[in-house]
């Protein structure tokens, strides 16, 4: 199990079109991952997840800063001693290799080919999937899901210390993804490894990671468990990025020491702020409730039922703003209808409009 430490790591690329314009992919990043920990790197496309993973793998070199595996600078560790297994989104299997050859690659390299069948059996047993039946097949005869299973079996096939996964299931259909995550969790629990798992999908992040590290524009914005990120966001980016359905936001200004959102009403701000400060209030759709005609009027634009979650989501127009309100399934609503609502202010978050920082 590897401990990973990053100190003040920077990585800049040069724009692919002109080869000149610098692209800051990772900015002064500090991070510590404990041995045996499962962490997820989560963030929107282009935020630097793959770059960070490749830096940890030693596939990219930082412009400045240090990366350690177990207190040794990564550069000083010979590649064959790093014990890294990697799986990528589009893992390209070698077309003329049977799965058996792919899975056994690292064992064969170490002249331990006789361990291949036992390894395949172990992986089959733990995942509950008959990997053995895939062993005689070539990539062209494997489905997308089967190819990723072979890639994963291969990644576990070395003297594994550290697993690095980059959106391994992103191209697979939803049903397989759920199944594959369960199989993966079983494997990870059986092997003593450190896992760094990249995804842009928060459900995946929640189910794989003990700790979720959210990146935006090459920086860590916040880290913690899913519940911590969801219930206690440090900034507007996290509030809007974490949680389904997406949180509602509205702009207002401090007037006479109170937040004033014009038709949204007035309310206390969590701490005293100068008059004229722009403040964004955010509230999840579940904390807006329907009222009699004295509430805030809104016009329904669309109604979407979520049967498993037992709610329906109303998309409404409130003046010129689009909002989402979560209501019970058993009431009838239709597009065009006017409803009235109110906010549970105790569940609202306040953010400085300038910086996005949470006001606590
Ligand atoms: P993510 O995996 O979160 O989508 P990446 O780490 O792939 O993000 O990319 C981060 C930023 O760095 C993006 O702006 C991307 O365009 C840029 N980038 C990544 N790799 C290269 C490269 N080899 N050359 C130029 N720019 C790159
Ligand atoms: Mg990526």
Give the residue extent of every domain in the chain: 4-237, 246-359
Beta strands 84-87 and 311-318 are unpaired
**Which pLDDT does position 224 carry in this prediction?**
97
Q: Would the pLDDT of 301 be above 90?
A: yes
What pLDDT digit, counting tens, does each position of 83-130 carry?
Answer: 998 888 776 788 899 888 888 887 777 778 888 888 888 877 777 777
Within 6 Å (CB) of ligand 1, which residues are found? 13, 16, 23, 25, 43, 45-51
Q: Which atom of ligand 1 is nearest to the CA of 15?
A: 25
Q: Would the pLDDT of 249 be above 90?
A: yes
294 SS3 class:
coil
Residues 6+ apart with CB under 8 A from 193: 1, 36, 85, 160, 161, 162, 163
Q: Which atom of ligand 1 is nearest to the CA of 52?
A: 6
| Chain centroid, CA 67 distance in Å | 22
Q: Which residue has the tokens 């009431």?
A: 331
Q: Would the pLDDT of 307 be above 90?
A: yes
Q: How far apart (Å, rounded) are the C-alpha atoms in residues 36 and 119?
A: 21
CA–centroid distance, residue 218 to ligand 2 (Å):
12
- Tell me what the mean pLDDT of segment 70-76 comes to: 96
Residues 6+ apart with CB under 8 A from 57: 84, 86, 164
**Which pLDDT does position 158 carry in this prediction?**
64
- Tell me what the mean pLDDT of segment 169-194 comes to: 84
Which CATH number is 246-359 given?
A: 2.40.50.140
- Test site for ligand 1: of 50, 55, 170, 219, most ligand atoms within 8 A of the Cβ: 50
CB 260 within 8 Å of CB 266: yes
CB 164 within 8 Å of CB 86: yes
- Tell me what the mean pLDDT of segment 310-318 comes to: 94
Q: How far apart (Å, rounded) are the C-alpha atoms in residues 355 and 133?
A: 55
Lowest mean pLDDT among 120-134, 143-157, 191-205, 211-225: 120-134
Q: Which among 22, 3, 67 has a CA at the least distance from the CA of 59?
A: 67
Q: How far apart are the first and last CA of the chain?
A: 38
- Pair of tokens at residue 150: 């072979």
**Which pLDDT does position 121 carry in this prediction?**
82
**Which pLDDT does position 251 carry in this prediction?**
95
Tell which CATH classification among 3.10.20.30, 3.60.70.12, 3.30.70.260, 3.40.50.300 matches the domain 4-237: 3.40.50.300
**Rg value, the chain, Cα:** 25
Share of the chain above pLDDT 90, in %: 66
- Tell me what the mean pLDDT of segment 155-181 comes to: 84
- Tell me what the mean pLDDT of segment 2-13 comes to: 97
**Which pLDDT does position 8 carry in this prediction?**
98
- Tell me what the mean pLDDT of segment 325-331 comes to: 94
CA–centroid distance, residue 212 to ligand 1 (Å):
20
Lowest mean pLDDT among 18-27, 76-85, 145-154, 235-244: 145-154
Residues 6+ apart with CB under 8 A from 201: 170
Q: What is the mean pLDDT of the chain?
A: 91
- Pair of tokens at residue 83: 């014990």
Q: How far apart (Å, rounded) are the C-alpha atoms in residues 208 and 195?
A: 9
Helical H runs in the chain?
A: 49-57, 99-103, 105-109, 116-127, 144-155, 174-190, 202-208, 226-231, 236-241
Q: How far apart (Å, rounded) are the C-alpha atoms in residues 204 and 184?
A: 12
- pTM, to two decimals: 0.91
Q: Which atom of ligand 1 is nearest to the CA of 218?
A: 10
**Which pLDDT does position 49 carry in this prediction?**
97
Q: Which ligand is nearest to the CA of 56?
A: 1
CA–centroid distance, residue 130 to ligand 2 (Å):
30
Residue 320: band (very low, low, confident or very high) from pLDDT cuts 50, 70, 90: confident
Q: How far apart (Å, rounded) are the C-alpha atoms in residues 24 and 13?
A: 6
């Amino acid at each position: 199990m590897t401990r990973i430490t990053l100190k003040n790591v920077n990585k800049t690329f040069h724009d692919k079109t002109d080869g000149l314009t610098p692209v800051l992919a990772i900015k002064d990043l500090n991070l510590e991952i404990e041995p045996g920990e499962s962490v997820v790197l989560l963030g929107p496309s282009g935020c630097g997840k793959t770059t960070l993973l490749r830096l940890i793998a030693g596939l990219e070199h930082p412009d400045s800063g240090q990366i350690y595996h177990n207190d040794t600078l990564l550069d000083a560790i010979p590649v064959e001693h790093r014990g890294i297994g990697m799986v990528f989104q589009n893992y390209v299997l070698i077309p003329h290799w049977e799965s058996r050859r792919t899975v056994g690659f690292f064992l064969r390299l170490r002249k331990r080919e006789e361990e291949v069948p036992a390894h395949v059996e172990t992986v089959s047993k733990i995942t509950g999937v008959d990997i053995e039946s895939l062993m005689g097949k070539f990539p062209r005869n494997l489905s997308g899901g089967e190819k990723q299973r072979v890639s994963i079996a291969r990644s576990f096939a070395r003297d594994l210390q550290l697993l690095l996964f980059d959106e391994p299931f992103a191209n697979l259909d939803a049903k397989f993804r759920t199944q594959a995550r369960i199989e993966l969790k079983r494997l990870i629990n059986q092997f003593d490894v450190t896992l760094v798992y990249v995804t842009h999908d928060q459900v995946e992040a929640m189910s794989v990671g003990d700790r979720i590290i959210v990146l935006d524009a090459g920086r860590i914005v916040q880290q913690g468990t899913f519940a911590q990120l969801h219930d206690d966001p440090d900034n507007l980016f996290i509030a809007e990025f974490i949680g389904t359905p997406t949180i509602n936001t509205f702009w207002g200004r401090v007037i006479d020491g109170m937040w004033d959102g014009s038709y949204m009403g007035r309310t206390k701000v969590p701490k005293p702020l100068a008059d004229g400060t722009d403040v964004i209030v955010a509230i999840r759709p579940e904390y807006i409730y329907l009222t009699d005609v004295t509430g805030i009027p809104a016009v329904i634009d669309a109604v979407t039922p979520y049967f498993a979650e037992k709610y329906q989501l109303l998309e409404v127009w409130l003046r010129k703003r689009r909002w989402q309100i979560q209501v019970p399934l058993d009431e009838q609503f239709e597009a065009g209808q006017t409803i009235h609502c109110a906010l549970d202010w105790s569940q609202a978050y306040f953010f400085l409009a300038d910086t996005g920082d949470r006001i606590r």
